[in-house]
Structure formats: structure tokens, C-alpha cells
Amino acid sequence: MTASLKNKLRRGISPVALAILMAVALVIWLLLGDTRSAKDTAPPPEEQAEEQMHEVETRWSQAQPLTREQVLQGQLLPWQQVQVMAQVSGRVAKLLKQQGDIISAGEPLLELSDEGRSQQLTQARAIYRLRQKELDGARKLRASNYVTENEIIRLEGEVARAQADLSAAQLAVEYNSPVAPFDGVVDRHHVEIGELVQPGAELMSLVNVSRLKATAQIPQQDAGRVAEGQAVKLRLLDGRELEGEVRFISLAADPQTRSFYVEAELANPELWRVAGGSATLRIQLPEVMAHQFSPALLRLGPDGNLGVHAVDEDGRVINYPVRVVAITNEGATVEGLPERLQVITQGAGFVDPGQQVRTEVVPEDETADAKASNEFQPGAAQSGPLPGQGAAE
């Protein structure tokens, strides 16, 4: 050996090179060990599937009967309202009824000056009797062929004309004293004694408020809930209440608002002065079976509709679509679910419909819904309008 080589051997291998050699050897050993372990100790397929199953927390939810209301903002109107108009010209001779007077159907309201209409009626009656006698005499002569058939026809036309003139004269005299078309109250009179009026002039305003009409617009998504005959409770602005029932629902929605016209009939035995004002209508809807739980359990299903995750009898996840009836401080009230189901209260955000899961059932008396609030994702639950929210509270 040369002197230089002998010197290198005496110095030995450097610490850096030794560290590199040891690291390479360790990596090779680990790779060989993992490969051999994977070949010799592969876990059974059953154990692998069990490790992939998610565990969720559930509780049983039982539906309870729920009385619902459809709340609408509406307007009160008189049951009947009419403007009495002048049919003939003349001066106001008498005001038989004053503002606030109670009236009956057919009762005279005022009198207009005659302006010769009574004389015209007397003349029309005389002419009619004359034409009728002429026709009767001609028919007797016709039996003896002294009068032609054409003459009979002419006289019948004269009688018809005289009868029409008589009817017009009778109406003109009746128009001298307009009468009430229904039972009610004189709300306003628009003329004074001695005032000259022409046909079409407003004379009096009559209303019937022994019953009232309440009108409102119902959103299209709630129109199917309301039916004729359903009970209605109406609350006035001052807190007083009236009761009645739905009597009409339009078949076509308003093209501007996409809402349906609803009309209710209400009794007003004390004749409260409320017609024309606004009020809140509470329509009593049929009782349904509904569940109540935390809004945190609501989530969007695969079809984009709001629903809730539950577990079926085979341990698979199902997303049931729901309709929200109300959301209060006590929780969300929903309908459309089975009468009894196993709701996922924790872990629903990590599983998909159809997936097999392991369940841990929480007793119904525990507040399991509170734990689910940690999973609540406002963006998912509120990405679309909640069906029915705010319609019935």
C-alpha cells in the first residue's frame, strides 16, 4: 500500500458518510418489512367494511297532533254597500232618512219633485185601456169577417206600444221616491232638500254591516291548504276579535302577485264600525301529525329540497323531505314524516342517503338535539326559502 492510502485507513470513515449509509439501510429494511406484512397479515374483508362504517347518534321521534293556522293580513268590507243614484231629474222634495238611520229593504229614502210624471202615467193608462178595447172589439168583428186579419195585427201592435208606454210611466213615478234595496244603514246622503239632480247623480250611500267580508291574498304555495267552510278568527287592530268562515277562494292567481284572492264571512251583531279597516285573519287548518326538533337537523337532500336524515330498520340512511310548519324558540315543527322514525341527531353531516351506518340510540328524554347544533350549517339549511315558514305561527 501506498503511504497515502494507509493514512486514510487510519483516519477511518467520516461521520457524515456513516450517517448516510445507516439511513439508506433503514429505509430498505422498512420497505421490505411492510411488503412482507401486507402479504402475510391482510385483514379479512368483513373487518375492513366494519372499519369504514360511520357511527351516528339517533333518537326516536314521535309525531304529535298539531292544530295549524294560516295567518293573513286582510281588509274588512261591508257585507253590502251601494250608492243610490237618481234615475230621473227633479228637485229633492223630502229626505225621509237621515245619516245613521236603520232602513229595511223596500223602504223609501227620499222624494223628488214629480215634474209631471204622474200626469203622464194617467195619460198612459187611459191610452192603454183605449187600445185594449179597440182590439177586443175588432176580434169580435173578426168572427163575422167584418175586420181583416191585418187590422187585428195592427191593433195588437198598438196595444203593445201603449203597454210599453204605461210601464215606462209607472217606473218614472216610482223613481220619484227611491227605496232601499236591502236592510242596512244610511251611511251618507249626498244631496240636500231643494237641490236639483239629474239622472246618475248620487243620492245616498247605504251599507249593511250586520255581516262583514274580510278579503286577503294567500301565497300560491299555501293556497292548497285553505278550503271553503274553514273557520276564521279575525283580530282587529284594537284587539277585538270576530269569528266567521271562508266562503270563497279564487281559482286563478293574480298575475302580478301570484297570490289567490280569499274572502271570509264574519258576523258583526254589535254593528262595530270597523268596515274599511285592516285586520289579521287566522284561518283554522285541518289538524296534522307533526314532529318537532332542532332546526339544526334540517338539511338539503340530494334533490335540493329541505329534509331530515333518519335511519331505517336496516341501518341505512334515508333523507325524508319535510314541510316546515313553523320555527320557534322551541324548535322546528315539520310535517310529511312517518308517524315514528329514528332521526340522526349527530353525525348526519358525514353520511349520505343509502349509506350503511352504526347507530347509538339516545333515550328520548335526553336533549340530543342540543348536541346537533354543533353540526348546523346555516348556508346549507337556509340556501332556499323554507316551505311554509312564516305562514303559520
Helix H segments across 90-228?
117-143, 149-174
Expressed as residue numbers, the domain containing 332 is 54-65+289-381
Q: Residue 113 domain-assigned?
A: yes
Is pTM, for the whole model, over 0.85? no
Residues 295 and 370 occupy one common structural domain: yes
Instruction: Report the domain count for the chain.
Output: 4
Q: Residue 115 domain-assigned?
A: yes
Residues 174 and 134 occupy one common structural domain: yes
CATH of the domain at 374: 2.40.420.20
Q: pLDDT digit of tens for each residue in the chain (393 aa)? A: 445 544 544 555 566 666 777 777 776 766 665 555 445 555 555 554 455 678 888 888 888 888 878 899 999 999 999 999 999 999 999 999 999 999 999 999 999 999 999 999 999 999 999 999 988 888 888 777 778 888 889 999 999 999 999 999 999 999 999 999 999 999 999 999 999 999 999 999 999 999 999 999 999 888 888 999 999 999 999 999 999 999 999 999 999 989 999 999 999 988 899 999 999 999 988 888 888 888 888 887 767 788 888 888 888 888 888 888 778 777 888 888 888 888 988 888 888 888 888 888 887 654 444 444 433 333 333 323 333 333 333
Residues 99 and 184 occupy one common structural domain: yes
Give bridge partners of residue 307 from the DSSP assignment: 299, 321
Q: Residue 277 domain-assigned?
A: yes
Residues 260 and 245 occupy one common structural domain: yes
Q: Which of 276, 89, 105 is nearest to 183 (CA)?
A: 105
The residue count of the chain comes to 393
Residues 101 and 195 occupy one common structural domain: yes
Residues 188 and 280 occupy one common structural domain: no
Residue reference for cell 315539520: 334
Residue 151 burial by CB count (10 A; 0-12/13-18/19+): exposed, middle or buried?
middle
CA distance 325 to 322: 9
Residues 98 and 193 occupy one common structural domain: yes
Q: Residue 391 domain-assigned?
A: no
